[in-house]
């Protein structure tokens, strides 16, 4: 029974981990913006390197189920910050967060594809 829902369980655990790390980034970021945290470039690098490693080592389904839900809470948080009015700021700063997190999501899928290509190159 566990094998039947393995990818769904991986995706839910990955989403929860991504939400936790987004919360950490938002709490350490300036004015509550996750992309203004000093840890954000490091998380960016970890996600991209993780995409390469996952693409090389596991199946494509498992890699996507692990990495994509991890990166999804950030665009959702940026959209949520855009919905709520913030009179003390310009109000358009959430767009920067949405763009940077969407780029991270696209690059994560690209790194999985690069990892798969590397795996196929060295296959005999």
Reduced to 3 states (helix: H, G, I; strand: E, B; else coil), residue 74 is helix
Residues 6+ apart with CB under 8 A from 83: none
Structure tokens at 18: 């991504």
Mean pLDDT of 33-49: 88
Contact 67, 112 (CB under 8 A): yes
Q: How far apart are CA 119 and CA 51, in angstroms?
A: 13
Predicted pLDDT at 87? 56
Give per-residue burial for 19-41: e unless 16+ CB within 10 Å, then b: bebbeebbeebeeebbbbbeebe
Residues 6+ apart with CB under 8 A from 50: 67, 108, 111
Record the pTM.
Answer: 0.85
Q: Is the pLDDT of residue 103 over 70?
A: yes
Instruction: Write out pLDDT tens, residues 53-78.
Output: 999 999 999 999 999 999 999 999 88
Q: How far apart are CA 5 and CA 8, in angstroms?
A: 5
């Amino acid at each position: 029974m566990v094998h039947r829902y393995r990818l769904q369980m991986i995706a839910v655990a990955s989403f929860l981990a991504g939400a936790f790390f987004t919360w950490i980034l938002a709490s350490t970021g300036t004015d509550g913006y996750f992309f203004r945290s000093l840890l954000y470039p490091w998380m960016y690098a970890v996600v991209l390197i993780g995409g390469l490693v996952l693409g090389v080592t596991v199946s494509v389904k498992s890699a996507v189920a692990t990495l994509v839900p991890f990166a999804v809470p950030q665009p959702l948080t940026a959209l949520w910050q855009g919905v709520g009015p913030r009179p003390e700021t310009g109000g358009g700063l959430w767009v920067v967060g949405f763009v940077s997190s969407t780029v991270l999501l696209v690059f994560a899928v690209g790194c999985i594809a690069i990892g798969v290509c590397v795996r196929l190159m060295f296959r005999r």
